[in-house]
Amino acid sequence: MRNLTGSGGRRGRYRDRVPSLRNTFSSLSSRALHGIWRRVQSAGAVTARRPGPYAFRRIGTGTRLAFPQGTVFGTPWIELGDHCVIGQDVTLTAGMMPDLDLGPDTVLRLGNGVVLGRGSHIIADTRVEVGDDVFCGPYVYITSTNHSYDDPARPVGKQWPRTAPVEIGPGSWIGAGAVVLPGATLGRNVVVAAGAVVRGRVPDHAVVAGAPAKVVRRLDPEKGWQPPLRTPPPVPVPEGVTPQELLALAELPQQPGGEG
């Protein structure tokens, strides 16, 4: 009986160790896989020095397309400005399909400092201009082409589409999931709410929301924002403050009863 009991005890201890070994192996495998993926992302990113398989007309200094890229074609007619941040799975296309001759002019142009969030699309079958310092949230869709449905006897997808140029003014912000349709012209520092569907002309310093998008707030030269903003403006960081000083300030203990 003592031998059986001892054997059973050893088996129990072995069974207890197996999950621990499995967890250790799983943790090590996960770390290794994530490490490999980070290296793949770094190697697959597209920059001016490492354009990969793409022949962009221009990739500006400091611009980076994260890996993996979305659908990208018509690159000889695409210009990317300096210091653009183009997220993962972003689609950039010039022309209705690959391998078309689109003539001598640039079709899709991003200005300097443009940010395109993950999964966004810019479809430029005709001219699309995105100004400097335009920020787009994730899954924004900007297109110069739309389906037509003039002929009720034919499937919509088989009818020739309509195209019109798109222009987005500098300093604008386009929220997540917004759609900018053919012919849209957005002014300077326009705010497009998340999920809005924009067409037509939007004036400078306007906020649009809804589907179709409508102006819900504008900047009046004399009265300021109308209707007035409901939150106070953020307090800017004083000039001359270093990143190290900001980190030290964040690490200071809070006073009892103080605000966070």
147 is catalytic: yes
- Quick check: 58 pLDDT over 90? yes
Confirm whether pTM is higher than 0.85: no
Q: What is the mean pLDDT of residues 173-191?
A: 98
- Quick check: 206 pLDDT over 60? yes
Q: What is the mean pLDDT of residues 158-184?
A: 97
- Quick check: 169 pLDDT over 80? yes
pLDDT band for position 26 (cuts 50, 70, 90): confident
pLDDT, averaged across the chain: 90
Terminal CA-CA length for the chain: 66
User: Do 149 and 156 meet the contact criterion of CB atoms below 8 Å apart?
Assistant: yes
Residue 85 vs residues 6, 39, 54, 96, 245: alpha-carbon distances, Å: 64, 19, 17, 25, 27
Burial zone of 150 (CB within 10 Å; 0-12 exposed, 13-18 middle, 19+ buried): exposed
Q: Indicate the residue type of 247.
A: L
- Percentage of the residues of the chain whose pLDDT score is greater than 90: 70
Q: Report CA dihedral (7, 11, 12, 13) to the nearest 10 degrees.
A: 100
Q: What is the mean pLDDT of residues 67-90?
A: 97
- The verdict on domain 45-225 having CATH code 2.30.30.240 is no
What's residue 31's pLDDT?
85
The neighbour count for residue 179, using CB atoms within 10 Å, is 21
- Percentage of the residues of the chain whose pLDDT score is greater than 70: 89
Catalytic residue chosen out of the listed positions 34, 83, 121, 147: 147
User: Do 221 and 203 meet the contact criterion of CB atoms below 8 Å apart?
Assistant: no
Return the domain boundaries, the chain.
6-44, 45-225
What's residue 260's pLDDT?
45
pLDDT band for position 110 (cuts 50, 70, 90): very high
CA dihedral (98, 104, 108, 112) positive or negative: positive
What's residue 244's pLDDT?
86
Residue 140 vs residues 83, 132, 148: alpha-carbon distances, Å: 20, 17, 22
- Quick check: 237 pLDDT over 90? no
What's residue 3's pLDDT?
53
pLDDT band for position 1 (cuts 50, 70, 90): very low
The neighbour count for residue 155, using CB atoms within 10 Å, is 8
CA distance 4 to 2: 5
Residue 130 vs residues 60, 112, 122, 172, 226: alpha-carbon distances, Å: 14, 9, 10, 9, 26
- Quick check: 189 pLDDT over 80? yes
Token pair for 134: 């335009």
